[in-house]
Structure 1
Amino acid sequence: MNYHLAGDSTVAPMKPGEEPMAGWGEALGEAIGQSVRNHAFGGATTESFVASGSWAALLSEVGPGDTVVIQFGHNDQKDPQLAARGGYADRLRGFVDDVRAREAVAVLCTPCERRWFDGERVTPTHGDYPNAVRDLAADLGAPLIDLTVFTTWLYEDLGDAASTRLLSHYAPGETAAWPEGLADDTHFRLEGARRIAAFVARSLRAIERRDGDAPARGSQLVS
């Protein structure tokens, strides 16, 4: 059984020269101990992932019993044609249908939250997109990994200062790609990617155990 990933830069593998910036998909293989084929790329939306040929390439590798993990939203919310209850949800529904046609399992993820603090709390930045994914998962009986909830909890649990160690906050001279430093509250550094990947791996194992007894129906896996 193989795992296949569809998503944006928060999922995508790090680019050469941009270390240690990494999406959580970069660390999933190590966390789950299985083959992971990561098709995610920076700036991807549910629409551009299809238009670029990435979705067709992913599907060409999917076999019966495989798992396809899908996480979009960061860039979709910038495009009026991809409204949460419109083009975005429609394309996610199509992804699930395509995966199921190949006798594989589609797992939907809500988008990772941005690390935007207001006092001791993280400010929600994705509007209705997480709820649209939750409702779609329930409607389709698809497994759901709620990364919006998990990352919000993770940042708040660590606190404003300590949680910067999970994101791409680099001091001047720390990395070759950003010699003057960087303060990026969307993209992970490898430490953060590993934390998210560990949660995704644990959630996938829970989904598989549940599927061993009965089909997962809109399973919301948060911790």
Structure 2
Amino acid sequence: MTYHLAGDSTVAPGKPAELPLTGWGDFLAAHVEASVRNLAFGGATTESFLQERWDDLMSQVRAGDTVIIQFGHNDQKQPELLASRGGYTDRLRRMVGDVRGAGAAAVLCTSCERRWFDGAHVTPTHGDYPNAVRDLAQELDAPLIDLNVFTTWLYEDLGDEESRGLLTHCGPGEHPQWPDGVADDTHFHVRGAEKIAAFVARSLRAIERRDGDGPARGGELVH
């Protein structure tokens, strides 16, 4: 069995020149007893992934595999084409259908939240997109890992100062890629990526236990 990952930069492998900035996908293999194939890439939307990577991903999907799908960060920047209740969910629906047609399981994920604090609380930044994924999971009777809820809780539980270490922050001169420093509250530091990957792995185990031989059904939220 293989886990195949479809997603954006918050899932994608880190570029060597940008490390420790990285997505959670490359750390999943350390927490699961199966191979992981990570095709996520920076800037990806549901549309660009279908155009550029989907055929490649599906070419190696076999019956019994699981495809984990997480988009939204970049889709929300193209509301005319990829509206939360329009092009975005239409494309997610197609992905789930293709995966099921190959005899594999599709797991939907909401977007990881941005670490934008207002006082003690994180400001939601994805509008209707997380709710659209939750509703689609219910509609399609598909399992859902609610990373939007989990990351919001994680940041707030740690607080503004401590949670900063999960994202890519560095001072001037600390990294050749960002000579003037960087304060990136979207993209994970290795520390954060590892925590998200561990949570995804625990969620996958919970989903698989619920259904015995395969993923849970009914759009169940795992968080």
TM-score tier by shorter-chain length is: over 0.9
Q: Give identity over the alignment, percent.
A: 68
Shift of 1:216: 2.0
Q: Give the match for residue 141 of structure 2.
A: 141
Q: 1:151: which partner in 2?
A: 151
Query: In the alignment, what sits opposite 1:61?
Result: 60
Q: Which moved more, 1:124-133 or 1:167-176?
A: 167-176
Q: Which residue is 1:94 aligned to?
A: 94
Measured in 1, the distance between the counterparts of 2:35 and 2:180 equals 37
> What is the rounded CA distance, in whole Å, between the counterparts of 2:70 and 2:10 in structure 1?
9
Supply the distance in 2 between the matched residues of 1:208 and 1:173 (Cα, whole angstroms): 46
Alignment of 1:4-15 (within 5 A): 4-15=4-15
SS at match of 1:68: strand
Unaligned runs of 5+ in 2: none
TM-score by length of 1: 0.97
The CA distance in 1 between the partners of 2:27 and 2:175, in whole Å, is 20
Offset of 1:174 from its aligned partner?
2.0
**Runs of 4+ displaced beyond 6 Å:** none
- Greater shift, 195-204 or 207-216, is seen at 207-216
Q: Residues of 1 paired with 2:31 and 2:175: CA distance? A: 25
Secondary structure of the corresponding residue to residue 22 of structure 2: coil
Amino acid at match of 2:159: G
Instruction: Provide the residue aligned with 1:218 in structure 2.
Output: 219
Read off the aligned partner of 2:201 and give its amino acid letter.
A
Task: Indicate if the aligned counterparts of 1:19 and 1:175 stay in contact, CA closer than 8 A.
Answer: no
Equivalent position of 2:166 in the other structure: 166
1:170 and 1:72 map into 2 onto residues whose CA distance is: 26
Moved more, 33-42 or 131-140: 33-42
Q: Residues 72-221 of structure 1: matches in 2 within 5 Å?
A: 72-79=71-78, 80-212=80-212, 215-221=216-222
Q: Following the alignment from structure 2 to structure 1, what is the Cα–Cα distance between the partners of residues 62 and 211?
A: 17
Structure 1 SS opposite 2:12: coil
Amino acid at match of 2:42: G
Aligned twin of 1:18:
18
Q: CA deviation at 1:172?
A: 1.8
Aligned length: 221
- Matched residue type, 2:219: G
Give unmatched runs, 5+ long, in structure 1: none
Cα separation, 1, equivalents of 2:142 and 2:128 = 19
CA deviation after TM superposition for structure 1 residue 47, in Å: 0.2
Q: From the superposition, tell whether residues 213 and 100 of structure 1 become closer, same or farther in structure 2 (CA, over 3 Å).
A: closer
Post-superposition CA distance 1:88-146 (Å, at most 9, x none)? 00000000000000110000000000000000000000000000000000010100000
Provide the C-alpha distance between the structure 2 equivalents of 1:205 and 1:177, rounded to a whole number of angstroms. Answer: 37
| TM-fit CA distance, 1:213 | 6.8
